[in-house]
Chains A and B, each alone.
Chain A
Amino acid sequence: MTMCAAPREDHAIDVREATKRYGSTLGVSNVSFAVRNGEILGLLGPNGSGKTTLLRMMLGLISITSGSISIFGRDVESAGPDLRESIGYLPGNIGLYDQQTVWQYLGFIAALRRLNLDVPARSLCERFDLDPSRRIGELSRGMKQKVAVIQAFMHAPDVLLLDEPTSGLDPLVQREFEALVDETRLRGATIVLSSHVLAEVERLADRVAVMRDGRLAVIDDVSMLKSRFARRIDLEFPTRVDPKPFATLAGVSDVQVTQHLLTCNVVGAETDLLRLAVEHGVVGVHTHDPSLNEIFLRIVGTNDTGAN
């Protein structure tokens, strides 16, 4: 493991050239990024891309082959277990103690944290409509996921590592979860959110990191990421227009005309396109930004990380 340079003080999480090797296989390869205090970072990637491995490395559940990861300026491998006092973790596949009731489980976790969390735990149980007297073994998958969410949030951590947090939750509960995340962000916590629900990541995350084959393919603000990729613009004219002048514009591609409608893909500023459209008497403009889902598919499907 290389010696880590002094971590940046404004960053809650600092990942530097982190690599995890399993024999000849690389689970995570030379990943570097930092998560600012109070930021929500969405972690995306296909199955097996290294997202879960990276989260587990942050917690010390698995060792780091080379590189370093620090949380609040402390190297996760050499820091004592007290570093995890301010971390909440929601694993992708959580196992609970089936013989305990929800309340017993949350009480056990709170006791191990040496905290009295009766009030926040009960409040979260009410918020997620979870009967704390029920035995965990009797709960459905979605209800167990609620327990998992509560145990991660109830001690008001400063860093949250969430792996597929809404898996098994119905849409109403997902909405409640998003509200909880928003509240957590408002109090200044830092969140790394790994999810396959791209719409959720798009709503919540400030930045998105996309992993592919253990490597970091791209990391950027959601809006900046979208601007890297072409968006479709529909221009409505009173009469049919000639597509050739539009096709010659920089950043414009795939120009098609159907009766009074001209559609094209645009990367970057659309100023010149709009100026030309006005010259041709445009009567309507509709812009369709690429969804995070579309961007994700482009990145992991073709390794296209968009125009810089």
Chain B
Amino acid sequence: MRAPLLRKTLRDNARGIAGWTLGIVALVAVQLSVFPSVSDTTSKIVDFAEAFPEVFRKIFRLEDYGSAVGYLSTELFSASLPLIFIAVGVTWGARIATDELEQGTSDVLYSLPLSRAHVMWVRLAAMVGVLIFLGAIVTVSLAIGGPLVEMSIAVSRLAAASVSIALAGLIFGSLAAFVGAASGRRSVALGIGLTVAIACFVVYSLAPIVEVMDDVNPYNPMQWTIGAESLKDGIDTWYCIAALATSIVPMFATIIAFDRRDLAA
């Protein structure tokens, strides 16, 4: 029963997945292509970064820019890739419960001998699968491209960093899925999912310089994912558990909310 639904879900989103894949590969390629220039001028880069106030260096994570880890952390894993994964997660999550409702295809689907929970779990699993796939694309792209520009980072660290950003996508994707299931409206799910993600990102970014945000930041999903600095330190177990728990709870809430919902004609 799961296979046809999963196949259809992935097939319906094949173009989107291909687009995201190409975009990620292109982004990684561009950033890798610039790295030799950066590494050749490391001392100048360091001097350049030192010229900025400490606050500025903290916000933009410029402390270790000249190294491979510092460069990738700043250019890819602190903002651009996490935001891409969050965008994937939120746009996917927002459609999990609302797609069929808005297309008018829910009547026949949910009149079949399968539970709503089943459909939701399949769609949530597809979201997880896609985020994992895109994370693997990041890892493979860097693992292949890194040595070409004399960038030496262990594949395990690349994978750890990819897991972290995939978890960021999963957290906010799960939230969007719950809002979609509760409201029945994709626009609401998109809006709330992205708003919460942006708010968390702002808190994370300003935490180094704003005390109240620094106090809240340990409970910030961005801190558990981006802030874990997995590329440098590997997977942080507790942050990973917190991120997974924060993803799983909205998933169960999605099932419950959608199961109780009246499906509008």
Determine whether the beta carbon of A113 is less than 8 Å from that of B12. no
Contacts of A287 on B, CB cut-off 8 Å? none
Closest CB in chain B relative to A55 CB, distance in Å = 9
Per-residue A-contact encoding for B99-133, CB less than 8 Å = 1, 0 else: 00001111111111111001000000000000000
Bound CA span A84–B1, Å? 15
A274 interface residue (CB < 8 Å to B): no
Q: How many residues of A are counted as interface, with CB atoms below 8 angstroms from the partner's CB atoms?
A: 32
Which one of A91-99, A174-182, A236-244, A257-265 contacts B? A91-99
A94 touches B111 (CB 8 A): no
A112 with B1: CB separation less than 8 A:
yes
- Cβ of B263: which chain A residues have Cβ within 8 Å of it? 56, 61-62
Q: A61-B262, A112-B4 are in contact. Are A89 and B108 (CB under 8 A)?
A: yes
Please give the distance in Å from A91's CB to the nearest CB on chain B.
4
Which of B4, B103, B265 sits near A56, CB closer than 8 Å?
A: B265
CB nearest to B119 among chain A residues: A112
What B residues does A109 contact at CB under 8 A?
Answer: 108, 112
The 4 closest A-B pairs by CB, nearest first: A95-B104, A111-B4, A89-B111, A91-B107
Specify the chain B residue showing the minimal Cβ separation from A112: B112
| B contacts with A, residue count (CB < 8 A) | 24
Taking a contact as CB atoms under 8 Å apart, the answer to whether A94 and B107 are in contact is yes
Question: B108 to chain A: which residues have CB within 8 Å?
Answer: 89, 91, 94-95, 109, 148, 151
CB distance from B126 to the nearest CB of A (A): 16
What's the minimum C-beta distance from A24 to chain B, rounded to whole angstroms? 16
Which residue of chain A is the closest to B101 with respect to CB atoms? Answer: A95
Given A63-B262, A111-B4, A114-B1, check contact A84 B113 (CB 8 Å). yes
Within 8 A of A (CB), among B61-109: 103-109
0 or 1 for each of B1-32: is its CB under 8 Å from A? (1 = yes): 10111001000100000000000000000000
Enumerate chain A residues within 8 angstroms of B104, measured Cβ to Cβ.
93-95
In Å, the complex CA distance between A89 and B265 comes to 13
Which residues, 75 to 111 on A, are CB-close (under 8 Å) to B? 80-85, 87, 89, 91-97, 99, 108-109, 111
A182 and B112 CA atoms in complex are apart in Å by: 24
* A-B contacts besides A62-B263, A96-B105, 10 pairs, CB < 8 Å: A80-B115, A81-B112, A89-B107, A91-B265, A92-B265, A94-B108, A108-B8, A112-B1, A113-B112, A113-B113
Chain A residues whose C-beta falls within 8 Å of the C-beta of B115 in the assembled complex = 80-81
**Chain B neighbourhood of A94, CB < 8 A:** 104, 107-108
- Whole-angstrom CA separation of A56 from B8 in the bound complex: 25
Minimum CB distance partner of A59 in chain B: B111
Min Cβ gap A204→B in Å is 21
Pairs A–B under 8 Å by Cβ, sample size 25: A56-B263, A59-B110, A60-B110, A61-B106, A61-B262, A83-B113, A85-B113, A87-B111, A89-B107, A89-B111, A91-B265, A93-B104, A94-B108, A95-B105, A95-B108, A96-B105, A108-B4, A112-B1, A112-B4, A112-B5, A112-B112, A112-B114, A113-B113, A114-B1, A151-B108
Asked if A70 is an interface residue, CB under 8 A from chain B, the answer is: no
Cα separation A256 to B112 with both chains bound (whole Å): 57
Contacts of A60 in B (CB 8 A): 110
Minimal beta-carbon separation of A98 from chain B (angstroms): 9
- Residues from chain A with a CB closer than 8 A to the CB of B265 are 52-53, 56, 91-93
Cβ of B105: which chain A residues have Cβ within 8 Å of it?
95-97
Residues in A neighbouring B262, C-beta threshold 8 A: 61-63
Chain B hits for A92, CB < 8 A = 265
Chain B contacts for A111, CB-based, 8 A: 3-4
Interface flags, A106-142, vs B, CB<8A=1, else 0: 0011011110000000000000000000000000000
The answer to whether A82 and B260 touch (CB under 8 A), given A94-B107, A114-B1, is: no
Q: Which residues of B contact A112 (CB under 8 A)?
A: 1, 4-5, 109, 112-114
Nearest CB of A to B250, in Å: 23
A99 to B9, CA, bound (A): 12
Q: Most A CB atoms within 10 A — which of B112, B118, B263, B265?
A: B112
